[in-house]
Structure formats: structure tokens, C-alpha cells
A = this chain, B = another copy of it.
């Protein structure tokens, strides 16, 4: 499989998992948290999928398309290892968190996911969903079935216990 094939599959998996996540949080009150803005493509998709929810976005330094920049009061600007612990107003209020480390370095991505996991979990409300490209297994996150067509391990959906 070429890198183009693999990239397309990853984006399709992301889109399918965000769609499934939207179904899973239908009855869960709370905000959406995008962990990393990047070029803003996924944020734009989240806006479309969750038109009625507040969407907060973490980003070290905004470099997104001008149409895809969140309002200043929804932006957690800085290193997530600083901004997430400081974002006490989000504790237990996040219905859906989405994480995709998005670099080409698989080992570094997994390290980052493992480091962020204990910062993300307390933000999720009971029944809240974490959609993540990198595995974040653990006792307080229950793995959920992936949508049809998404290969096991390509993306991950967890519900907070």
C-alpha cells in the first residue's frame, strides 16, 4: 500500500469514527474538544458534525486556514501539557475529545498519546467519548466497536467508564 493509499484510509477512518462518535454522544450533554488544530480540516468537519455544541481547540501555534480558526475564547493556546491541566472549566464537561497526533513518527505519536491520556480522561464527562488515532487503552476507557470499514487499530473509540 502506498503512502497515498494509507493516508486516504486514515482520513476515511477519521471521518467514519467522528460520525460514529456523534451517534455515541447523542444523549450526552457536553462540549467538543479538538486536541490539535493543525490546518483546521478536522475542526471544520467537527463544526459540521456538531453545529450545536461548543468546540474548544488546543493548539501550540495557530497555522490553520483563515476560515478554520476557532474564536479566541474557544482556543487553548500553548503546549497541551500546560493548557489541559489549566483548563479546569472543562473538567467533566467534554462529551467528545478527538486526538490525532498527526506526525509521521509512530513511536513519538504513541508517547504523546500516553502522556496526554491522564490529562484528557478527567475532562470527559461520564459517558463521554474519546476518538483517537493513537491507542489510549486503560481501565477508565472502555473500547467501543469501530464503524464498518475501519480496520481494527487504525482508529480508536473509547467511552469513559
Q: Which A residues are closer than 8 A to B by beta carbons? A: 2-5, 7-8, 11-12, 14-15, 39-42, 44-45, 47-49, 65, 67-68, 104
Dominant SS at the A interface? helix
Is A41 within 8 A of B11, CB to CB?
no
Is B4 within 8 A of A8, CB to CB?
no
Copies in the assembly, this chain: 2
Task: Find chain B residues with CB under 8 A from A12 CB.
Answer: 8
Contact among B4, B15, B65 with A5 in the assembled complex (CB-CB below 8 Å): B15
Which 9 pairs across A and B sit closest by C-beta, in order of nearness? Answer: A4-B45, A2-B45, A3-B44, A3-B41, A2-B48, A4-B41, A2-B44, A8-B11, A7-B41
In angstroms, Cα B6 to Cα A45, docked, is 10
With A2-B49, A4-B41, A8-B15 already in contact, 18 other A-B pairs whose C-beta atoms are closer than 8 Å: A2-B41, A2-B47, A2-B48, A3-B39, A3-B41, A3-B44, A3-B65, A3-B67, A3-B68, A4-B11, A4-B14, A4-B15, A4-B42, A4-B44, A4-B45, A5-B45, A8-B8, A8-B12
Chain B residue, CB-CB nearest to A7: B41
